[in-house]
Amino acid sequence: MSDRRNLAGSQPSLQYSPYRSTEHRAPSRPMIRIPGTLSDLCAPVYGWWPIGEADCDLTRQHDDEPHGQRIVVDGRIVDEDGRPVAGALVEVWQANAAGRYRHANDAHPAPLDPNFTGAGRTVTDADGHYRFTTIKPGAYPWKNHENAWRPAHIHFSIFGSNFQTRLVTQMYFPGDPLFPYDPILQSVPDERARRRLIARFDLALTSPEWALGYAFDIVVRGPDATPFEQRR
């Protein structure tokens, strides 16, 4: 079995002063381990409703199609030895093509899209494979510092078999000029680890006359682990 440890600098610190809100939410005291209970291991992670067909296609959740560049995001979730993580719940959320979230706290003066909610979910197959169809999100301002803009990104959450296995990260798009100015991406010290957060354009995933394709694999632990914002 491979080494399960993360390499130094491959994961972001919980506190990183250029990313201002970490100053408020990072723990200032040593963590206290709370013993797990049976309900932590047995409680369902899928929410109230069964996963529907349109849950993994964010362009088909309303009467009409959303505005924006249609894309496919496709990848595998694997462990440190490349073994598939099967049956994992993968949830995504994102801004619309104009860089606006459908959320009460989003005051960015960009249009909401009545045909785009910006949330999806699916479950990995036996090979650890997942796929979403969506639209490419826009960059948005976020007031972290003067003239602060987030690069286009899609948020990912992954649950294994229970709540204690949640991992949260973000996927970026190749060639984004905002990378050097983004404290969230730059909070990952190691450049090779940062690159693991950037999807790869893949012509083979591109659907002719329909959608561009991006590949994004996630490694849940070990020296090649994807950087995660929240980990257990």
- Residue 157: partners with Cβ closer than 8 Å, 6 or more residues away: 89, 90, 91, 92, 166, 167, 168
Question: Which helix (DSSP H) or strand (DSSP E) does residue 183 occupy?
Answer: helix 183-186
Rounded CA separation 202/199 (Å): 9
From the list 121, 153, 194, 196, the catalytic residue is 153
**CB 40, CB 163: distance < 8 Å:** yes
From the list 140, 172, 214, 221, the catalytic residue is 140
From the list 16, 19, 101, 172, the catalytic residue is 101
Neighbour tally for 134: CB within 10 Å: 26
Sign of the dihedral defined by the CA atoms of residues 42, 158, 10, 94, in that order = negative
**CB 137, CB 113: distance < 8 Å:** no
Give the angle 193-198-201 at the CA atoms, nearest 5°: 140
**CB 205, CB 220: distance < 8 Å:** no
From the list 20, 67, 70, 155, the catalytic residue is 155
From the list 76, 121, 150, 196, the catalytic residue is 150
Annotated catalytic, 140?
yes
Annotated catalytic, 153?
yes
Q: Map residue 22 onto helix, strand or coil.
A: helix
CA distances from residue 208 to 126, 137, 173, 203 in whole angstroms, order as listed: 27, 21, 20, 9
Rounded CA separation 200/187 (Å): 21
Report residue 17 CA to chain centroid gap.
22
Active site residues: 101, 140, 150, 153, 155
